[in-house]
Amino acid sequence: MDDPQVKYLLSLQAIRDRAKVVGEAAKSGNGLTNFDVDFGDKLDHAVDFVAEVIKRDFGPDKFETIPPHGRWQHFEVGGVPRIADLMAEWKKAGCNKTEQTRRLIDLFFVSVLLDAGAGDHWRYTEPGTTSEGQVYERSEGIAVASLHMFKSLAFTTGNIPIVDGKGLERLDTQKLAAGFQVSETNHMLRVDSRAALLQSLGQSLLANPDVFGAEGRPGNLVDYMIKSAGDASSTLDVLYLWDVLQTLLIPIWPKDRTTVNGMPIGDAWPLSTLKASGSECIQPFHKLTQWLTYSLMVPFQRVLGLQWTNSDSLTALPEYRNGGLFVDLGVLSLKKEALERGLQAAGAGEELPVFEAGNDVIVEWRALTLVLIDILYGRIQSRMGDGVQLTMAQLLEAGTWKSGREVAAQRRPKTKSSPILIKSDGTVF
């Protein structure tokens, strides 16, 4: 990462810098390739809609209880305190708060990296719930499935519920499919890619023993971050964590991703809207790494009482729920030619356009999602009432992500899918 162009494109700053260029092109009225944007009434309606969803669930005086966007709450789907129950078990077994946090980081690491869109038809029936079973889908289903695999020692070579590099290296597609209850009648998108991703994660963890120890344990990040801040410090730096995660994760992404000067740059893609060449035309997102960062921050806060600086460097998450919200509410609309290409790719009789993850349409859509959520974030405070100040993580959790899911369920009740479909490789979205 010594190459300055590569280092910049791996940074959080580059994500917003490049998205701002896309936003300026959109506001000029003729700078976008694939979308038209309504910055007027439709965007105002979107702001009002998201504000009403937040106030419905947390008003008038519970806004401070909105959890930050992260993996923790997915584990509690159905009102079941699975994380609290786990921590009680660990405490009973003699684990102090530091070890409990290590184990949560272990769990969150693998669970987040598996969470790249399960598809419209996959379901997970939780073992031991009722005679008929409690059934979950999408992100919550992946969370619960990964938790049960974690408890059954699927990600370790040892005999306690942790994650280690050797355990991930030996995880194969068959074992992951069994853990996720995948079958001919219960299809999940790209299980093979997810298994390969965790295998690569295992190799990368083992290749970074200064952070993750000789066993390549994600939870050793706890000790590393505390030491880096000074053992007596009560604050940790998001930017420091970000650099650690990028060093670990960039080598594990699919090898056919974008490269700059021969170096892979992960979830970053050429975009025609930037009207440049070389590295100047690339829009970075690093969505799964940001989702992981948001998620890992929470156990440090809740269990160890540590706080984070530079958390406002993180951006919105450019994924199909946040982006779908703006399409469904008419803020974004595909230009005719792009829509026709997407419908043609979907096939006869299909009503929703579909594109590959690296297609210019998808990259522009994701960049515009960042632009629009930043605008929405700036406007929504005035809708919430005096004294209410939401963080971006709270807006994502209680606002845009939840609103996008609800609108999708209203408009496409059978599938609850995004209004634009992405051919997932198991590591994007």
> Which residues sit opposite 307 in a β-bridge?
235
**238 contacts: CB under 8 Å, gap ≥ 6:** 293, 297, 308, 309, 310, 311, 313, 314
pLDDT digits (tens, 9 = 90+) for 324-382: 999 999 999 999 999 999 999 999 888 999 999 999 999 999 999 999 999 999 999 88
Q: For every residue of 345-412, which 3-state class applies, written as one string?
A: HHCCCCCCCEEECCCHHHHHHHHHHHHHHHHHHHHHHHHHCCCCCCCHHHHHHHHHHHHHHHHHHHHC
Q: Quick one: residue 418, left, alpha or beta (phi over 0 = left, psi -120 to 50 = alpha)?
A: beta
pTM for the predicted model, two decimal places: 0.94
DSSP-assigned beta bridge partners for residue 371 = none
Cα separation values, 116 from 17, 307, 409, Å? 25, 28, 19
Tell me what pLDDT residue 400 has.
Answer: 96
Q: Enumerate residue ranges in the chain where pLDDT < 70.
A: 1, 129-133, 277, 425-429
Instruction: Check residue 129 and give its pLDDT.
Output: 65
Residue pair 404/325 in contact by the 8 Å Cβ criterion? yes
